Structure formats: structure tokens, C-alpha cells
Amino acid sequence: MKGETTDAPAPPLSPAGELVRRHDRDRFMTALFAPAARREDLFALYAFNYEIARVRETVSEPMLGRIRLQWWRECIEAAYQGGPVRRHVVAEAVTAAIRSRGLSRGPFDRLIDTRERDLDESPFPTLGSLRDYAAGTSAALIELAVEALAAGSGTANEAAREVGVGYALAGLLRAVPFHARLGRCYIPADIAAHAGLDLRDYAAARASAPLRAAVAEIAAAASDCLRRARDLRARVPRAAVPALLPAIIAARALDRLRRARYDPFDPALATGDPLQSWRLAAAALLGRF
């Protein structure tokens, strides 16, 4: 009839999708640009990542964290061996994604193994070791997301690794105020020593010249990763773009940090990017990342 509309309300989010929406807004927004038939697989991967990334925050001692990570290892093992699924919404979702999409096991093992590093309070000794951590966490996750989108290729996987490391390094810089309040420092020891960083300034949220220099060096490493990923763009399947959109978020965060003169405690950095959804939409439309 005239005047009627065929528009229907959007279906409610799955439990995994709702968890990602609440706790990982960046990745939730990027997943919305994936084809509807693949979106739940991304939500499952990102929810799984959230669960293992928060282990450190939910345990009182490292051994309990290792037990929790072992629980997730067993979930992944069961998913690949055809065993019964644990009664847990994220375990159920990630098992369904693994079995329906035939996802590779290696990145899951790297994710869990690398997350054990979160239980170690010692600082990363070098920038290289921090990059390895970023590759084992963020990059491994993006590799799985690319595979879930049926867009895996040598070039796409290479871009995933560069975007993953760049996004993780930028994310760690965004989280400096949070980590400083908790007494944690992700600035590698070699960079801290070279810059002459006094960790008392870091703990007191003082943007000293050495701290700015250290932050600038890590930011430069992140920018280099994003540049190398962009250099591959012409050879990356367009279907992989939703998995690689975190590069847009990282690039914007690094640009804001540069304009703050690499002061990670600048209050302006605490506000979100009001145009983020538009930036992601434009990038997805143009096939960029």
C-alpha cells in the first residue's frame, strides 16, 4: 500500500557482537563494513580476542592467568578436533567460525601463547620484542579476520601483519595514561634508555622531553608499518579491506599524537574521533586502508 515502508528494524546483535560493541568499539565499527554473511565470524574472532586480552585484568596472580589461557587453548583444540563445545557464548561463537570457515589454527595458537607475555611485569627489552608481541596478538587476529572474509593471499597476509603491528603500537601509545595509572610501562627498555626517560615522570604523567622522544620513536615505527601496508594496497583483494580498516584508526591516532607534540597525556587525546565512522565508511567505499 502507498505510504508503507519495507524497512525493517536491524536484527539484534548476537551475544558475541554485543560483547564486541561494548568492549572493542574500534573493531566493532570496522566489522560493520564486512558482508553480512561474514560479520558474525568477525564478531566471534574479536570477542575471542577480547576474552584472552583481558585475562591479565581478571586474575590476581600469573598462575591463574595461565590456567585461564589454558582453558582457551583447550577450547580451540576441541574446535579443531571435533570435540564438544564449552558452554560459553564466545567459545561457541569462535568454534562455529572455525568449523564453518575452516580457519587456520596457527594464528589462534600464536594469540594465546603471546598473551602469556601479559602476565610478565618486566618491560619489553627492545622495540623488536614489542613488535613481536604486536605481531603475535594484533597481527595474528587480523590474519584470521582476512581469512574469515575469504580474502587470504600472500599479499593480504603481509598487509595484515603490517597493519596489525602498526595498530597495536598506536594502541599502546593511546593507552599510556591507562597503563601509567596501573604502574605498567610498554615503552621498551632500549628506547627508554636511549631517550634518557625517567620512569618517575612516566608514572606521574609528566610529559617530559625524554618521554616525548620515546613516544615519537614508537610512533614512527607504527607509521612505518602502516606505510608498508599501504604500499601493498593495489595487490590486496578488496574483500580483505574490512579486516584492514584498523589502519585508518591507527593513522588518525598517530596524526593526533603528532599534533599533540607526542605528549601521550594531552587531554585532547582522551576524546574520541567524532568522524571515525565517516573515515571508515569512506575508506571502505574506496577500498583503502
152-172: pLDDT as tens digits: 789 999 999 999 999 999 999
- Please state the separation of Cα 152 from the chain's center in Å: 18
To the nearest 10 degrees (0 to 180), the angle between helices 140-148 and 106-115 is 150
pLDDT the model gives residue 5: 44
pLDDT the model gives residue 9: 59
pLDDT the model gives residue 153: 83
- State the cell numbers at 39: 560479520
**What are the domain boundaries of the chain?**
13-120, 122-289
pLDDT the model gives residue 11: 74
Q: How far apart are CA 220 and CA 223, in angstroms?
A: 5
Q: What is the pLDDT of residues 251-285, one digit of tens each?
A: 999 999 999 999 999 999 999 999 999 999 999 99
- Residues of the chain with pLDDT below 50 are 1-6
- State the cell numbers at 172: 599502546
- State the cell numbers at 154: 600472500
pLDDT the model gives residue 121: 87
Q: Are 174 and 253 in contact (CB under 8 A)?
A: yes
Question: Which CATH architecture does the domain made up of 122-289 adopt?
Answer: Orthogonal Bundle (1.10)
pTM of the model: 0.94
